[in-house]
Amino acid sequence: MFANLSPHLAPLQVVIPLIAAPLSLFLRNATAAWLFALVATWSAFVIACLLLVQVLDQGVLSYALGGWPPPWGIEYRLDAANAPVLVIVSGIGAAVMTYARQGILAEIEKHNQVLFFPVFLLALAGLLGVTITGDAFNLFVFLEISSLSTYVLVSLGANRDKRALSAAISYLIAGTIGATFFVIGIGLLYMATGTLNIMDLAMRIADMGDSRLVRAAFAFIIVGIGLKLALFPLHLWLPNAYTFAPSAVTVFIAATSTKVAVYVLMRFVFTVFGTRFDFQELTLSYLFLPLALVGMFVPSIVAVFQTNVKRLLAYSSIAQIGYMLLGLSFATIAGLTAASIHLFNHALMKGALFMAVGAVALRMGSTDIDAFTGLGRKMPWTMAAFVAGGLSLIGLPLTVGFVSKWLLIEAAFASGQWWIAGFVVMSSLIAVIYVWRVVELAYLHDTPEHVNVTEAPASVLVPMWGLVLANFYFGINAQFTTSVARRAAEALLGVFP
Amino acid sequence: MSAEFILGHYNYWVVIVLMMAGLYVVVSRGNLVKKIIGLNIFQTSVFLLYISMGKVRGGTAPIEIEGTGVIYSNPLPHVLILTAIVVGVATTAVGLAIIVRIREAYGTIEEDEILKIDHILDFGEGAQD
């Protein structure tokens, strides 16, 4: 039976969570729905790993949905650029689902608990669909599936804090404007080329070169995706959405949804518009590079002054997107390798950090920085995970953060802009300040008298430490991730070894 | 700019006006329901853009007719926009549902009042802006 399934792994990747979502709605019991969703997310992860192995082995996998050959039908197309993103998204999805149960029980009101699972699975299916599809319009549809379910997931935090609702509506407005800009861009591209298949678009744009219509499409698409990925001045929806969403949701969206948007940006900037499109070079060096540099600093400095640890990490996420954008703006193999590996590494570190904060929220009922006072003794495993994630965020050697920054600095030197390396180091030093604020409170202060908490339960600690250990494992043994990221960069730039 | 150009692009002018009007409503109105309606207008302009681009001059509805040399309009953008309409309806539904919850929790759907309440929750009573 399984042998018959293997050619159909690509659609199954999306179909399993998509079908599991409505099915889990029939399970009236939160535990049953959780177990069901757990199986679905882990099987998605296994499929993503199998697909990555196949891609690394064979290069490009193409699947024509319904037997309609591309470019007419919808194509699922996997290459070295998107197969690793599938692994990140589904891996984080599986880890979060394992982690989610306790948090969901504590943070969401009882009659809504069952509803969390279908919405989560839909968000996962949407993100996986965005990543795997080779069709520009299909990409928009999946983007909206994931975004709409993410708005709902964020609003589920309303039981704990009503600000989740205002965060959800501003996210919805920003996200919808972004998606609409994106779909206008796709429409203009269709007008210019008459195709929607990404590879076909790339070929036709390369043939026809520069035109005003293609430029307009480019601008609409960049702004649209920029809103979705919280590109620096378009990030205003992000801090509140991350802060007030339920902890499990924050882990999931912080580690996946902006990453997928970065992947889409890379796909459009490099694969679709490609290097033959002169306008792209200008955008990269006069728009993305300055925005990335400002984005590395301003949100980091804002993070230093936050009193809520979740919001602090949210601002830090915006700064980290700056790093990815920086790598992308070099438009070299080295730069894209750094951006792709940071996509993976940042998911690992922010996943671990937000899980640790979620565990504190579970025990203390708050994510205010004061709630962390003296927790080093009360919740040693959780706080150790926070410290490890924080070190990785700063970029200490032996962690994944170091690998990312090393490659980024190397790419900066290789492109002749050595001064950028200085900026990367300086913004890492700001990360030291905000991570230290939390660590200092947790370890160097006595626990307040009235605080009498115990360590988080094992179901929370195990996925958290899984991610922490991954931070160290891929930090020490970076061979595999670097080579995959390099192949991703080569696939995006269209250079095949 | 000749009159022919202006009249010939009638649909596109409508698209641009609707697009700008919708976006302006989203940005300028404080009432959340009006913001959602603005989003709707904004999305409608995209529907019109897609429908316009499917038209082929002299083309008929894309239903197969006997004989050769029949010109058909392009059905693909129309099919695409059906999906986008569904997405738009879903967005409106989710948005309005969240607004209902906001009204229950905050007692208002005016953005500046909500922000004021959020500000007090963020920094405590009596905090200065």
DSSP calls for A17-39: HHHHHHHHHH--SHHHHHHHHHH
Pairing, β A61-64 against β A75-78 = antiparallel
The answer to whether the Cβ–Cβ distance between A180 and B46 falls below 8 Å is yes
This prediction's pTM: 0.93
The answer to whether the Cβ–Cβ distance between A187 and B46 falls below 8 Å is yes
Quick check: A166 and B102 in contact, CB under 8 A? yes
Q: Is the pLDDT of residue A210 over 80?
A: no
Tell me the CB-side half-sphere exposure of residue A257, using CA atoms within 13 A: 37
Quick check: B81 and B55 in contact, CB under 8 A? no
CA distance linking residue A44 with residue A58, whole number of Å: 21
**Which residues in chain B are contacts of A184 at CB distance < 8 A?**
19, 46, 49
The answer to whether the Cβ–Cβ distance between B46 and A158 falls below 8 Å is no
**What pLDDT is recorded for position A7?**
80
Q: Which residues, in sequence order, are CB contacts of B52 under 8 Å at separation 6+?
A: B11, B12, B15
**Which residues in chain A are contacts of B78 at CB distance < 8 A?**
none
Q: Which residues, in sequence order, are CB contacts of A183 under 8 Å at separation 6+?
A: A137, A140, A224, B46, B84
The answer, for B42 touching chain A at a CB cutoff of 8 Å, is yes
Q: Is the pLDDT of residue A229 over 80?
A: yes
Tell whether A290 is covered by a domain. Answer: yes
Burial of A32 (0-12, 13-18, 19+ CB in 10 A): middle
CA distance linking residue A91 with residue A260, whole number of Å: 13
- Report the SS3 class of residue B124: coil
CA distance linking residue B74 with residue B64, whole number of Å: 12
Q: Is the pLDDT of residue B129 over 50?
A: no
Tell whether A443 is covered by a domain. Answer: yes
Phi, psi (rounded to 5 degrees) for A469: -65, -35
Tell whether A467 is covered by a domain. Answer: yes
The answer, for B37 touching chain A at a CB cutoff of 8 Å, is no
> Could you list the residue range(s) of the whole structural domain that residue A290 is in?
277-497
For residue A48, which of A73, A17, A21 has the smallest C-alpha distance?
A17
pLDDT digits (tens, 9 = 90+) for B76-105: 898 899 999 999 999 999 999 999 999 999
**Which residues in chain A are contacts of B102 at CB distance < 8 A?**
165-166, 169
**What pLDDT is recorded for position A390?**
93
Quick check: A488 and A84 in contact, CB under 8 A? yes
Tell whether A324 is covered by a domain. Answer: yes
Which residue, among B37, B98, B123, would best test binding to A if mutated, counting the most A CBs under 10 Å from its CB? B98
A36 pLDDT band, cuts 50/70/90, is: very high
Tell whether A449 is covered by a domain. Answer: yes
Domains of chain B as residue ranges with CATH: 3-63+70-123 (1.10.287.3510)
Please state, in angstroms and as integers, the Cα–Cα distance from residue A198 to each residue in A133, A163, A280, following that order: 9, 39, 17
Tell whether A414 is covered by a domain. Answer: yes
DSSP H or E segment with residue A78: strand A75-78
**What pLDDT is recorded for position A3?**
62
Q: Is the pLDDT of residue A1 over 60?
A: no
Give me chain A's average pLDDT, please.
Answer: 89
Bridge partners (DSSP) of residue B31 are: B110
What count of other Cβ atoms lies within 10 Å of the Cβ of residue A270?
A: 22
pLDDT digits (tens, 9 = 90+) for A382-437: 999 999 999 999 988 889 999 999 999 999 998 888 888 889 999 999 999 999 99
**What pLDDT is recorded for position A120?**
94
For residue A458, which of A50, A99, A38, A124 has the smallest C-alpha distance?
A99
The answer to whether the Cβ–Cβ distance between B46 and A183 falls below 8 Å is yes
Quick check: A451 and A364 in contact, CB under 8 A? yes
A276 pLDDT band, cuts 50/70/90, is: low
Residue that is written with structure tokens 């996997």 in the block: A78
Number of domain units in chain A: 1
pLDDT mean over A246-257: 92
Amino acid at B56: V
pLDDT digits (tens, 9 = 90+) for B40-79: 999 999 999 999 888 888 888 888 888 777 888 888 898 8
DSSP classification of residue A286: I
Q: Is the pLDDT of residue A495 over 50?
A: yes
CA distance linking residue A97 with residue A463, whole number of Å: 9
**Which residues in chain B are contacts of A172 at CB distance < 8 A?**
91, 94-95, 98
Give me chain B's average pLDDT, please.
Answer: 88
Q: Is the pLDDT of residue A477 over 60?
A: yes
CA distance linking residue A159 with residue A168, whole number of Å: 13
More confident residue, A160 or A355: A355
- Report the SS3 class of residue A274: coil
The answer to whether the Cβ–Cβ distance between B32 and A191 falls below 8 Å is no
Quick check: B95 and B39 in contact, CB under 8 A? yes
Tell whether A345 is covered by a domain. Answer: yes
Please state, in angstroms and as integers, the Cα–Cα distance from residue A64 to each residue in A11, A78, A130, A221, A242, following that order: 9, 12, 16, 25, 37
Q: Is the pLDDT of residue A497 over 60?
A: no
Q: Is the pLDDT of residue A277 over 70?
A: no
The answer to whether the Cβ–Cβ distance between A177 and B102 falls below 8 Å is no
The answer to whether the Cβ–Cβ distance between B87 and A161 falls below 8 Å is no
Lowest-pLDDT range, A46-55, A181-190, A441-450?
A441-450
The answer, for A241 touching chain B at a CB cutoff of 8 Å, is no
Nearest CA in chain B to A306: B122
The answer, for B27 touching chain A at a CB cutoff of 8 Å, is no
Nearest CA in chain B to A180: B43
For B61, the token pair is: 């509805």
CA distance linking residue A401 with residue A412, whole number of Å: 16
Tell whether A72 is covered by a domain. Answer: no
